[in-house]
C-alpha cells in the first residue's frame, strides 16, 4: 500500500511540474560579434558588480551582455543562450552601450587578462524564445 501511495505522489508531482511550465520554446541561431568584459571599475562604473538590469555579477557565472538592437530581437533579460566554442548555457544579465550593434560581451569575472586574450571575434549563438500559440 505504501508503495502505491509513493508512486501516486511521484506521478502527481511530475504532472504538476509539467503543467506549470507548459510553454514551448525554440532555439534561434544568430551570428554576432563577441568580445569579453570584466566586473572592474575601468570597464563599467564605480559599482562594477551591478548590471544595467540590476543583477549582481558573480565571477564564475555564465553571463553575457547584449547590444540594445539584440534586445529587440528577443535576447532580453534572463534569456538562455549557447555560445559556439563554450560549454553550458549562458544567461543575458546585462546590456551594452547603445553604440554597439549585433554585439555580445561574455562575462569573464575579474580576469582582465583572459578577456583580453579572448579578444573580439564573430561567433554563432543560439538563444531560446518562447513560441506563442496562434489561435
Query: Within a 10 A sphere around the Cβ of 95, how many other Cβ atoms?
Result: 21
In contact, 49 and 102? CB cutoff 8 Å: no
The pLDDT of residue 22: 67
Cβ neighbours of residue 88 closer than 8 Å, sequence gap 6 or more: 62, 82
The pLDDT of residue 3: 45
The pLDDT of residue 105: 96
Domains and CATH numbers, the chain: 23-131 (2.40.40.10)
Nearest Cα residue to 30 out of 56, 66, 62 = 66
* Band of pLDDT at residue 42, cut at 50, 70 and 90: confident
pTM: 0.79
The pLDDT of residue 21: 57
Amino acid at each position: 500500500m505504501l508503495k502505491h501511495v509513493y508512486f501516486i505522489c511521484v506521478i502527481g508531482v511530475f504532472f504538476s511540474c509539467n503543467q506549470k511550465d507548459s510553454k514551448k520554446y525554440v532555439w534561434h541561431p544568430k551570428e554576432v560579434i563577441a568580445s569579453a568584459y570584466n566586473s572592474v571599475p575601468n570597464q563599467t562604473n564605480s559599482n562594477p558588480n551591478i548590471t544595467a538590469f540590476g543583477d549582481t555579477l558573480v565571477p564564475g557565472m555564465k553571463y553575457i551582455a547584449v547590444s540594445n538592437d539584440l534586445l529587440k530581437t528577443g535576447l532580453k533579460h534572463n534569456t538562455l543562450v549557447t555560445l559556439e566554442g563554450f560549454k553550458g548555457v549562458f544567461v543575458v544579465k546585462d546590456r551594452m552601450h547603445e553604440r554597439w550593434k549585433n554585439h555580445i560581451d561574455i562575462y569573464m569575472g575579474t580576469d582582465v587578462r583572459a578577456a583580453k586574450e579572448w579578444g573580439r571575434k564573430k561567433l554563432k549563438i543560439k538563444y531560446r524564445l518562447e513560441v506563442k500559440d496562434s489561435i
